[in-house]
Structure formats: C-alpha cells, structure tokens
C-alpha cells in the first residue's frame, strides 16, 4: 500500500519509512522540517534504494495535505507522527502544543477520509496512563486528560477524537500506538535522532556527553524504590518501533484499536548509562542529583496485546540501542548538519 507519513522526515518517521519500504510498501513523506532536515529523506532512499518523496509543509494545513494526495495518490493509509513533543516546553507553551498536535490530526483526517483512506495510525504516548499502581501498563490501564503537561494531554485528546471518528466511519481502520521511550538509531548510521539544543531525553544527552559537547550526565534521583535507586523506563529500539507500525498497518482491522509498543522490560538510568559506556569503551562523567518534580520511579508496559494481535515483539536490546546510537553520533557529530551529501 502507499502510505503518507506525516512527520516522515523526523526520528521515528525516517525509521518507519525504511521499515515500510523494506516491507514492500510505498511512502510519501510530509514534514515542515522544523525539527529535522531534508537530507533525512534522502538517506531513507540511500538505505533502501527506493524513492521516498518529501513534501515540505505543515500537516495542519489541509491544502498541503491535499497536495500530497494530488501529487502522489492514490494513498491508502496515513501514519500520523507530526507533533510537538517536548514535555517541559509544553508546560510553558500549552496553546502551541494543543493547536499543533490537534490541528494536524484534524487536517489529516478530513483530507484522508475525503480521499477514502483505509487506515489511520496515530503516534501516541505511554504518558497517557495516569495511575502508577497499574504497572505494567496494559491498554486497559487508567488514562486521563488530567495529566501534568500539555503534550500528554494533547495526545490523550487525540485518542478521544480518533475513537469518535472510528465510531462513525466503520470502514476505517484506526490504530493508536502508545510508545514507550524510543532510543537507538538505524544500524547504517545514516539516520537517527537529531535534537536541537540540549536534549530533553536521556540517551541523546548521554551521547552528547560521550562525544564531548556536554560536560556530565545528571542522574536525577538515586533513592527511588528500584533495584539501583534510579528511575526505571521501558526503552524500545526505534527499529523495533518502526516495525510495529508496519505490523499495525498490515494487521489492522476496521474499527478502533490501541496497542502498547514497548519491551515490557524496564531499564534503569544507571543501567542505560553503563550500556552506553560499554558502547563507547570508557566511563562517562556523571553526577547524582535530587529528584525532579513530576518524575516517577517506574513506567513500563505490558506489550503482549501487540504480540497476540499484530504478531509483533521487540528483537533488539538496550545494548543494541546504545551501540547503534553511538554509531549514529560518531558518524554525524552535529546531526544532519554535519556531513555533506555525496
């Protein structure tokens, strides 16, 4: 099938594009390039040897989405990865987050349904789960819109919208994928995460310390009720995550479905740092700091529903993720801005 990837030149988008192309599907990338670079799309083509046309524009603009269908139709499915995603920033810029993260969904749905798409896959987040007592989170765990930040709230609002859209469009496959901590990079080193400024997430921060652009790793909280006192998270290799999108498209059924995409095996902050040190080959400077407000001791999921329904499970470990991320970082020390293309 031909798939429109909104946010397709971003971190998860490029890896998903590679997975789709390698599975025999066609892709069209739509991205405003606010958080990535056009060279990312070119590298998808280098990896796969297949075309990955890029439309540069805002997925919240219906005329831009219409142009994608006009230039590259017929399009069978949409994967919606276009979102503002910095949790901390969302608390300071709630209007921008609600506007972008909801308006993109509205535009993609209006145009896609108007053109008769069969499937709509939405990139959600495990942060929609609201009760830590539910660990490991299943798809039936407690969710809420009364969450701590606009990013998580906007994702949960989108989920509510999509459930209603599926109800009145029974022929449409609507799939919500709740992600848990994507990490790693493509083993080729050609595509990977390219955050602007100081990274918000742990692995890119550790990688910046390893390459020397940041001084030390700050470990926030060493007194949690966990095996080593540091927070536990469900880190999923981005290649596994990308393959989860392929499975969601290929196994989708009419109606509305929700799946957790994670490993189900939480890794602590110190375990991730130790794994990255193994990839680098030496210890990294680190400092134990007080807990941050809003952080929880652990968050991880039960991904068994995706295994049972989609036939999907993770294959790659935290060691694989650290090795591949370090390969990406050393090959591209300043991200996509580093290396001129041949």
**Tens digits of pLDDT across the chain (342 residues):** 999 999 999 999 999 999 999 999 999 999 999 999 999 999 999 999 999 999 999 999 999 999 999 999 899 999 999 999 988 899 999 999 999 999 999 999 999 999 999 999 999 999 999 998 999 999 999 998 889 899 999 999 999 999 999 999 999 999 999 999 999 999 999 999 999 889 989 999 999 999 999 999 999 999 999 999 999 999 999 999 999 999 999 998 899 999 999 999 999 999 999 999 999 999 999 999 999 888 889 999 999 999 999 999 999 999 999 999 999 999 999 999 875 444
Q: Are 126 and 134 in contact (CB under 8 A)?
A: no
Cα–Cα distance measured from residue 331 to residue 2, given in angstroms and rounded to the nearest whole number: 31
Angle (CA) 83 215 191, round 5°: 40
User: Would residue 221 count as lying in a domain?
Assistant: no
Whether residue 74 is preceded by a cis peptide bond, meaning omega within 30 degrees of 0, is yes
Tell me if 198 is assigned to some domain. no
Sign of the CA dihedral with 4 first, then 251, 318, and 186 last: negative
CB atoms within 10 A of CB 106: 14
Q: What pLDDT score does 139 carry?
A: 98
Q: Look at the chain and report how many structural domains it folds into.
A: 1
Q: Which residues are catalytic?
A: 151
| Closest to 325 in 3D by CA, of 236, 256, 257 | 236
CATH number of the structural domain spanning residue 172: 3.40.50.720
In a domain, 191, yes or no: no
Q: Is the pTM of this model over 0.85?
A: yes
Would you state the pLDDT for residue 185?
Answer: 98
Residue 173 lies inside a defined structural domain of this protein? yes
Task: Give the pLDDT confidence score for residue 34 in this predicted structure.
Answer: 93
Query: How many whole angstroms from its chain centre is CA 188?
Result: 19
Residue 230 lies inside a defined structural domain of this protein: no
Axis-axis angle for helices 269-280, 318-331 (nearest 10): 50
Note the pLDDT of residue 339: 55
The predicted pLDDT at position 340 comes to 45
Q: What's the pLDDT score for residue 54? A: 98
Helix/strand/coil for 81: coil
> Can you tell me the distance from the alpha carbon of 186 to that of 70, in angstroms, rounded to the nearest whole number?
31
Residue with tokens 């991730």: 272
Angle of CA points 296, 301, 307, to nearest 5°? 170
* Residue 342, pLDDT score: 41
Answer yes or no: are the C-beta atoms of 247 and 306 closer than 8 Å: yes
Q: Report how far Cα 328 is from the mean position of its chain's Cα atoms.
A: 17
278 located within any domain = no
Peptide bond between residue 43 and the one before it cis (omega within 30 degrees of 0): no
Residue 276, helix vs strand vs coil: helix
User: Does residue 300 contact residue 226 with C-beta atoms inside 8 Å?
Assistant: no
pLDDT at residue number 204: 97
Give the domain range for residue 249: 2-185+236-263+300-315
């Amino acid at each position: 099938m031909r798939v429109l990837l909104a946010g397709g030149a971003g971190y998860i988008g490029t890896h998903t594009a590679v997975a789709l192309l390698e599975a025999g599907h066609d892709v069209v990338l739509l991205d405003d390039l606010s958080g990535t670079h056009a060279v990312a799309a070119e590298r998808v083509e280098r990896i796969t040897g297949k075309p990955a046309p890029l439309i540069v524009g805002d997925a919240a603009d219906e005329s831009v989405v219409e142009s994608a269908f006009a230039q590259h139709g017929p399009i069978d499915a949409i994967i919606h990865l276009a979102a503002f995603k910095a949790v901390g920033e969302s608390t300071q810029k709630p209007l921008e987050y609600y506007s972008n993260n909801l308006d993109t969904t509205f535009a993609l749905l209006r145009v896609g349904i108007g053109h008769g798409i069969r499937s709509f896959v939405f990139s959600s987040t495990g942060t929609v789960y609201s009760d830590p007592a539910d660990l490991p989170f299943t798809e039936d765990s407690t969710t809420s819109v009364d969450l701590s930040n606009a990013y998580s709230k906007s994702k949960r609002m989108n989920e509510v919208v999509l459930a209603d859209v599926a109800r009145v469009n029974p022929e449409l496959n609507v799939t919500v994928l709740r992600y848990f901590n994507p990490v790693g990079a493509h083993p080729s080193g050609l595509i990977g995460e390219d955050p602007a400024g100081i990274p918000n997430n742990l692995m890119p921060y550790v990688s910046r310390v390893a390459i020397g652009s940041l001084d030390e790793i700050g470990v926030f909280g060493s007194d949690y009720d966990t095996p080593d006192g540091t927070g536990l998270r469900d880190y999923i290799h981005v290649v596994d995550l990308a393959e989860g999108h392929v499975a969601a498209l290929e196994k989708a059924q009419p109606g509305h479905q929700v799946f957790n995409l994670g490993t189900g095996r939480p890794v602590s902050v110190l375990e991730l740092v130790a794994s990255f040190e193994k990839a680098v080959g030496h210890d990294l400077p680190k400092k134990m700091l007080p807990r941050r407000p809003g952080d929880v001791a652990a968050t991880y999921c039960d991904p068994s529903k995706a295994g049972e329904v989609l036939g999907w499970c993770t294959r790659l470990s935290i060691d694989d993720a650290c090795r591949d991320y370090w390969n990406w970082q050393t090959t591209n020390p300043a991200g996509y801005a580093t290396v001129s293309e041949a």
